[in-house]
Amino acid sequence: MTLPDEVNLQDLVGDGEYVENARWTLFADLDPDEAPGRSVLLVLGDRWTVLKGDDFRALARRLLEQL
């Protein structure tokens, strides 16, 4: 296993705001022709994004290997 280089946290987040109560939800798409499979809704404060389930799974695997 190769760990990432050490990085100064301030260089990554800059003047960004800390988000409390970050949350995520897994959901199945209602229209499988448009977006087949499952997706993950990631909510940070009043901002949100949707990730493909497979992309979220790959991200989680990479993170878990390093914990």
- Tokens representing 62? 């990479």
Examine residue 6 and state whether it is found in any structural domain, yes or no.
no
Residues pairing with 42 in the sheet: 24, 49
> Does residue 1 register a pLDDT over 90?
no
Give the pLDDT confidence score for residue 2 in this predicted structure: 62
pLDDT digits (tens, 9 = 90+) for 12-67: 778 877 888 888 888 887 776 766 678 888 888 888 888 888 898 998 998 888 88
- Tokens representing 53? 């389930």
What is the identity of the amino acid at 28?
A
Examine residue 22 and state whether it is found in any structural domain, yes or no.
no
For the purposes of burial, counting CB atoms within 10 Å of the CB of 51, is it exposed (0-12), middle (13-18) or buried (19 or more)?
Answer: middle
Examine residue 61 and state whether it is found in any structural domain, yes or no.
yes
Q: How many domains does the chain have?
A: 1
Examine residue 42 and state whether it is found in any structural domain, yes or no.
yes
- Tokens representing 13? 């987040």
Examine residue 58 and state whether it is found in any structural domain, yes or no.
yes
